Amino acid sequence: MFDDFLIRAALAGIGVALAAGPLGAFVVWRRMAYFGDATSHAAILGVALALASDLPVGLGTLAVALLMALTVSSLAARGWAMDTTLGVLAHSALAFGLVAVSFVPGVRTDLSAYLFGDILAVSAADLVFIWGGAALVVALLIWRWSALLTSTLNEDLAHASGLDPDRERLILTLALALTVAVALKVVGALLIAAMLIIPAAAARGLARTPESMAVLAALIGGAATLGGLQLSLLYDTPAGPSIVAAAALAFAASATLGKLRRT
């Protein structure tokens, strides 16, 4: 019989995978990997502000991640060179967040939990927040799926279809900020982008349609969660990095299978 904390950990990881998988497909299609890094790294600053003001960590994380995502989206719309800008924002946000956390009494020893996640310490209240946020992200993506996909494939086609690519980019921005907030407890700020990108990249080599890629990405993320937790239980390794390592193995298997199919 599994202990309660393992069941909660598995449910939390699966909840994150359900949101990160389909959203990660858009991150891969739009080449937004650095965008995800900047938003997730800003989450540490949100943690510091929440702890300093006695607010829920999830609320502080969501607010700062959303602010960073909106800032990046606004700069992209104005034609900034985003590779350099995102690099500056991502690392600056992480540095300022780490410095800010160091000023909050009693938090310095727990900093690794925010950087790499602490999925084994997920509470029932955390589960409500994670699954509620994941459900909202999935509902948002389903609602705007066709418009998001059209805007991703061709912005001129989106305009011709009466769509506003900037609005669809904003919707992705909101979904990304919410996913960062719900994933912080599971894999931490440094590994959130990995859970967005790696399962989606693994699914790309196996899927035949955009919809199947989104579903496969969620399934691979869920399987990586269970596999990573099993690895952590057997070998006493950190749970968050173990989950990402399991996802990386899934990507390697997918790439190998894809290569064999082409030969």
Confidence at residue 24, expressed as pLDDT on a 0 to 100 scale? 94
pLDDT at 63 over 80: yes
pLDDT at 232 over 60: yes
Long-range (24+ apart) CB contacts under 8 A made by 255-262 are 255/202, 255/205, 257/205, 257/206, 258/205, 258/206
Structure confidence at residue 107 as a pLDDT band (50, 70, 90):
low
Confidence at residue 116, expressed as pLDDT on a 0 to 100 scale? 86
pLDDT at 49 over 90: no
pLDDT at 263 over 90: no
Confidence at residue 170, expressed as pLDDT on a 0 to 100 scale? 84
Confidence at residue 1, expressed as pLDDT on a 0 to 100 scale? 43
| Residue 210 CA: distances (Å) to CA of 7, 8, 146, 147, 262 | 31, 31, 10, 13, 20
How do residues 179-193 score in pLDDT, each as one tens digit?
A: 998 898 888 888 898
For all residues of the chain together, what is the average pLDDT? Answer: 87
Structure confidence at residue 144 as a pLDDT band (50, 70, 90):
very high
Give the separation between CA 205 and CA 259, rounded to whole angstroms: 9
pLDDT at 246 over 90: yes
Higher pLDDT, 89 or 235: 235
Nearest to 43 by CA among 69, 7, 74: 69
Structure confidence at residue 12 as a pLDDT band (50, 70, 90):
very high
Confidence at residue 108, expressed as pLDDT on a 0 to 100 scale? 56
| Residue 155 CA: distances (Å) to CA of 29, 150, 152, 164, 167 | 13, 7, 7, 8, 12
Which has the minimum average pLDDT: 131-135, 137-141, 254-258? Answer: 254-258
> What token pair was written down for 170?
């904003």
Terminal-to-terminal C-alpha distance of the chain: 45
Structure confidence at residue 38 as a pLDDT band (50, 70, 90):
confident
How do residues 88-104 score in pLDDT, each as one tens digit?
A: 887 888 888 888 887 87
Which has the minimum average pLDDT: 74-83, 218-227, 238-247? Answer: 74-83
Structure confidence at residue 2 as a pLDDT band (50, 70, 90):
low
pLDDT at 173 over 80: yes
Contact (CB, 8 A) for 10 and 225: yes
pLDDT at 109 over 70: no
Instruction: Please report the domains of the chain, with CATH numbers, ordered by start residue.
Output: 4-256 (1.10.3470.10)
